A = this chain, B = another copy of it.
């Protein structure tokens, strides 16, 4: 087994829950994992530090101290009962690529920083992307007052971890000194597997809108109210649910009919609509279309429609020129360069406030993630590292 895969297996031990992988932001397991990652960084010839919000940063310094810096990274926190690759792979693969560049004796014309963020999943506190937000200079100090389920504030947890809450604002990289942020990540979707490709170039992190739709009609006896006199909320609601649009994804994940008895016409139906797309205009157009269709059905069925927005995130594009560099490296490795959007969120969403971003996806089995069954192939991991190594080696210093 390759060193990269061995390291990812070893990292499983750093868990807050025995028998599973659960590594929450600023927890004892996070501290252990941070030390382990620092060890890998040192082996790769990097100098190591931790920033004010707990991000582990290893630097392969350039001879020219005034050179700009290229950021690589991902996160080492996990969801509860996680798989071993989500986030962790990107950190370990970045260290592996840097080690190979150094071992090959290549003198890069820029510093390389590998960042191991600690709060991408946002599981412990009701905030997320704390590490990448701090690095990007968009950390909101109000987040320090948020508390976990045990009443521990982010501020207190940071102090206990050895961080410095009051210096969180100073953890930012200087804009204009950063060349780009590159991240390797498992796809968390099935596309590369279906198309039999080891890696893919990410075009954008999809924007997302989540709607909560309420449909109010009139409840009634399932047997005695004729169809033409019904104001049947469920009939109206569900006709909307299956819509599908090219290039975007729409999901009705939750639906409730009230009162919810087999022999009562539902008077009230509530369902969620989750819409994601790589471009904001595409998502907005789809939302407008969805609203138009829902209104038409509601009108036809004499029910009242209320739509609330519970979540909204703009799409974050990966820099086209970085996409091209990833694509060229993939082609050089002998594979077809597949471009695909990211349906899930990543640290790059925050880093895009600082610099151009680029992402490379690695095939994962069955598209399964956030699950102990998460699996990648050793051969794919190797291809991903080689692609990153190529991109790194030829990355422009300006």
Contacts and interface: CB of A to CB of B under 8 A. Distances in A.
A222 B188 contact: no
Contact of A257 (B236, B245, B255): B255
Given A194-B229, A254-B262, A234 B224 contact: no
Contacts of A194: 229
A65 B262 CA distance: 48
A235 B249 contact: no
A229 to B, nearest CB: 5
Interface stretch (A42-50, A98-106, A263-271, A383-391): A263-271
Contacts of A241: 234-235, 238-239
A245 B265 CA distance: 15
Nearest to A370: B221
A189 B221 contact: yes
B227 A255 contact: no
Given A229-B194, A239-B242, A249-B227, A222 B276 contact: yes
A165 interface: no
Q: Which of A248, A274, A369: most chain B CB closer than 10 A?
A: A274
A225 B367 contact: yes
A274 B222 contact: yes
Interface string A247-281: 01111111111001111111000001010100000
A213 to B, nearest CB: 11
Nearest to A241: B238
Given A227-B249, A234-B241, A252-B234, A221 B261 contact: no
Interface residues of A, number: 59
A221 B257 contact: no
Contacts of A266: 252-253
B255 A224 contact: no
A73 to B, nearest CB: 20
Contacts of A224: 187-190, 342-344, 367, 369
Contacts of A260: 253-254
A233 to B, nearest CB: 10
A224 to B, nearest CB: 3
A244 interface: yes
A250 B227 contact: yes
B229 A253 contact: no
A375 interface: no
A235 B250 CA distance: 10
Interface string A112-140: 00000000000000000000000000000
Given A221-B344, A234-B255, 9 more contacts: A190-B224, A190-B229, A206-B223, A225-B249, A232-B251, A234-B242, A254-B261, A254-B262, A255-B256
20 contacts: A190-B220, A190-B224, A206-B223, A220-B367, A223-B274, A223-B343, A224-B367, A224-B369, A226-B249, A229-B367, A232-B242, A232-B251, A235-B244, A235-B252, A236-B242, A237-B238, A238-B252, A252-B266, A253-B263, A262-B310
